[in-house]
Structure 1
Amino acid sequence: MGLALIAAPAFAADSAAATGPDRERARMNQRVFDRVWTEVRSQYYDPELHGVDWNAARRTWRPIALNAPDDRILYRAIGDMLDLLDDDHAGASPPAVARRQDTLRQRRAAIGVSLRPDPSGEAWVIEQVRPGSPAAEAGITEGWRLITGEGAPWTPEQDIAEGQAVTLALVDDEGVPRPLTLTPRMMDPTPAFVADRSRPGVLVLTVDGFEAGLGRWMGEQLAGLAPETDVVIDLRGNPGGRLMEADAVLSCFLPRDRLWAARTGRSGRRVELRTGGGCGDLAGPVGNEVAVLVDANSRSAAELTPAALQEARRAVVVGTPTAGAVLISQETRLPDGGRLSLSRADFVTSGGVRLEKRGVTPDLAAPLTPEDRRAGRDPGLEAAVAALAGTQAEAAMAVRAVPTL
């Protein structure tokens, strides 16, 4: 059933009415909004749009978007309209955010935080703080919130530049306001993939995103690995990325042509996903014991991968339940340089499980508390290493129990 009435929020209407846009701004607002609305109507994986009356949504949100004086109000209106789909993959990034995403692996001006939207719509949650960054030096930690409601001094819709101070309306993890002024500085990019061999008998592969080259890189790390070495794949905070790289990672551990998922697009046609290789120059999948670390910020490909390994009984999954945001999406550039992300296909695992709004439930729960974070502890990694050590110990005991004939 379609929505008969969609109420527009007072904040957007009031703000837009107070300072209307000039003619050029209004024209660009129209182009951006109409592109988003049309793309959803014609390309969204569910032709029924989950029962949302998309024409009513247009009548409600288009006037607000066209009258937006800045990117904050324009993209807030677009985002609220997309929220009607109840789909975590349906979202629009303003030009400043898109520019930061495009330069993620480049040297650039930064304050050193990674953000995700707060469900309230009035704030962003700090997911990560980069060591040695202005944010870290100011004492900001994961779990703080950046307030971005009306009157906020800086919001993610704005660019930052080297040496130009920005004031952040922050609230710490105990709810105490902590307004801070930080000066961005040029910082080298962090690597997308990191291999840690500091623990004897354990290889920890941290993957920040399913970016180009991941499968090949993972194959290089696994090549020649001693059979007794345990492998931990850390996907915590990983937003996902390329589906072909998820397949490449699975090819490192599962036989070729192994069914691991199926997707269904707008036409209703089902397409099976089978491992197709791509794990570097490995002759075949490795046989090492494997654990995968996940948390509530593991999304998309970072959920599909542990789900496939879990169903194949190839890995133990450790951490906290994942986000449940696994619809297969594609991105479209918008006329102002922003970006639209839109789900183009539904997804089920090889076992027929639909992970959307459900996520992956770990085999072993290992939550990270604020106290752990402040103390520098990592209970998830410790639990993963212990679980793998226990698996090998049990196997060794079983071998010793077999009598010699």
Structure 2
Amino acid sequence: MIRRAILAAALACAGAPSLAVRAQAPQAVETFDATWQIVRDSLFDRTFNGADWDQVRAELRPRAEAAKTAGELREVLRDMLGRLGLSHFAVIPSSPDAPGADADLHGEPGFDVRLIGRDLVVSSVDPHGGAAAAGVRPGSIVQAIGGTPTSAMLADITDRTPERVAQLAAWRAVLTRLRGPADSKVEIAFAEPSGATVTRTVTRRTEPGNPVTVGHLPTMYVRVQADAAKTPAGGQAGVIGFNVWMSTVDAPFQQAIDRFRSSDGIVIDLRGNPGGLAAMIMGIAGHFVGERVPLGTMKTRDTQLRFTVNPRIVNGSGQRVDVFHGPVAILVDGLTGSASECFAGGMQSIGRARVFGQTSMGQALPALFDRLPNGDVLIHALGDFVTATGTRLEGRGVIPDQPVPLTREDLAAGRDRPLEAALAWIDEHRKLP
């Protein structure tokens, strides 16, 4: 087994393309035993969140022995990990679940979705992607993908499912149907804002961004966007967003800070950002905090690690600079997870940022990943995270200071109310001449 550390691992990996390495011989029992032992020896909670871990092994090991395919074994492993009731436990396949199954998910359709009520709604469209070329519009309801109704995909989500849980479950349920080989096509039925029902053929394209591979994890594509925005009162604000916490974010983020250093406020858009390398939050926070104060603490089985701000007083050109002292707003939603939650919750807890949007995932456990005997990779939680005020984010999420609901009507009209609210707040707190 090979171990690498990744703190608050990006949850997108749970639905990411399979690893490039092909699975070895099934090695089902060895893989099951290794998974069980890794959790036994490393989980921060010695009570296993109430699960009888020895009994779980006794119950499920015979099923692992009987598994005939990699997919059957993974079902057993996921059942075992699910007994813990914690986030950041996942198995990343090294091969298709069954012989002949298509595991190439490197092509994406060029639009994102959010669950609003019981509807899966297009929340954004990449102007350069296949969806835009096919005429897909924000605010449209996805009714079927490849002939399968979305109602069938979302059947496990009920009125009793907590909203933050339902959002992630819905996104995962449709991800592998929306994605596929690059240049492949998929037919998607939509109910458009106009009331018309249409079926559009969308060409999947290679995901845009800077490809980054960490350890044994699948390749992730990092994107950073920085835009200037006007506040309602005519002030100037910078809006910086990125899709995953990877080291390649640091340089463009620093460039954006230099660009907006004299602005009236900065908005950090973490909506849809599922996490990544949690250690990065200390440096990113250092653009806004001039003292070495803790954002929070990671508690493992035997130790505690403080996530202390690292003030950034030198820019990319080597010039001495001051941190940004203006108002900072952070945007979150139901797909903001992990490292993004640690950052948003940490900045909120020290009073340095105001949070807008919808409650985040509530999946904020730092994690490790291990190569298993069959070639798959196990992501498993190593520690718990609490903010500077002692608030535990796992199972709770980051609760916005100013909740702003997501509506289909706003999406169809091209309105971004969370951003509008953040810009209005900057007006209230910016320094006037």
Q: TM-score, normalised by structure 1?
A: 0.73
What do residues 118-176 of structure 1 show as CA deviations (whole Å, max 9, x unaligned)?
A: xxxxxx998865444445537486875485699xxx983999434555678x89799xx
Whole-angstrom CA distance in 2 between matches of 1:40 and 1:329? 11
Checking the alignment, whether the CA contact within 8 Å between 1:216 and 1:278 is kept in structure 2 is: no
Residue 77 (structure 2) aligns with: 78
Query: Superposition pairs for residues 134-283 of structure 1, below 5 Å?
Result: 134-135=130-131, 137=134, 139=136, 144=142, 145=150, 156=176, 160-164=180-184, 184-186=204-206, 188-189=208-209, 191-199=222-230, 201-223=236-258, 225-267=260-302, 269-277=303-311, 281=315, 283=321
Checking the alignment, whether the CA contact within 8 Å between 2:130 and 2:203 is kept in structure 1 is: yes
Query: Superposition pairs for residues 335-350 of structure 1, below 5 Å?
Result: 335-350=373-388
- 1:382 maps onto 2:432 in alignment: no
Residue 87 (structure 1) aligns with: 86
Higher normalized contact order (CA 8 Å, seq sep 6+, divided by chain length): 2
Whole-angstrom CA distance in 1 between matches of 2:229 and 2:87? 37
Checking the alignment, whether the CA contact within 8 Å between 1:209 and 1:238 is kept in structure 2 is: yes
Residue 36 (structure 1) aligns with: 35
Whole-angstrom CA distance in 2 between matches of 1:67 and 1:116? 38
Residue 49 (structure 1) aligns with: 48
Alignment-mate amino acid for residue 375 of structure 1: A
Checking the alignment, whether the CA contact within 8 Å between 1:146 and 1:171 is kept in structure 2 is: no
Whole-angstrom CA distance in 1 between matches of 2:295 and 2:264? 25
Question: Once the two structures are aligned, what percentage of the paired residues are identical?
Answer: 27
Alignment-mate amino acid for residue 253 of structure 1: F
What do residues 238-296 of structure 1 show as CA deviations (whole Å, max 9, x unaligned)?
A: 111112211111111112421221121111x2232211346762634211221111112
Residue 352 (structure 1) aligns with: 390
Residue 9 (structure 1) aligns with: none
Which 5+ residue runs of structure 2 have no aligned equivalent? 1-22, 97-103, 143-149, 156-173, 210-220
Checking the alignment, whether the CA contact within 8 Å between 1:308 and 1:350 is kept in structure 2 is: yes
What do residues 30-82 of structure 1 show as CA deviations (whole Å, max 9, x unaligned)?
A: 34333322211112121221121122222333343444455544333322221
Give the one of 311, 327, 333 matched to 2:349: 311
Whole-angstrom CA distance in 2 between matches of 1:42 and 1:210? 27
Whole-angstrom CA distance in 2 between matches of 1:222 and 1:82? 41
The structure number with the bigger radius of gyration is: 1
Checking the alignment, whether the CA contact within 8 Å between 1:289 and 1:388 is kept in structure 2 is: yes
Q: 1:114 to 1:49 in 2, by over 3 A?
A: farther
Alignment-mate amino acid for residue 353 of structure 1: T
- 1:300 maps onto 2:338 in alignment: yes
**Cα RMSD (Å):** 4.1
Checking the alignment, whether the CA contact within 8 Å between 2:222 and 2:244 is kept in structure 1 is: no
What do residues 332-367 of structure 1 show as CA deviations (whole Å, max 9, x unaligned)?
A: 233444332211111211112212211222111111
Q: 1:375 to 1:141 in 2, by over 3 A?
A: closer
Which 5+ residue runs of structure 1 have no aligned equivalent? 1-23, 98-102, 118-123, 400-405
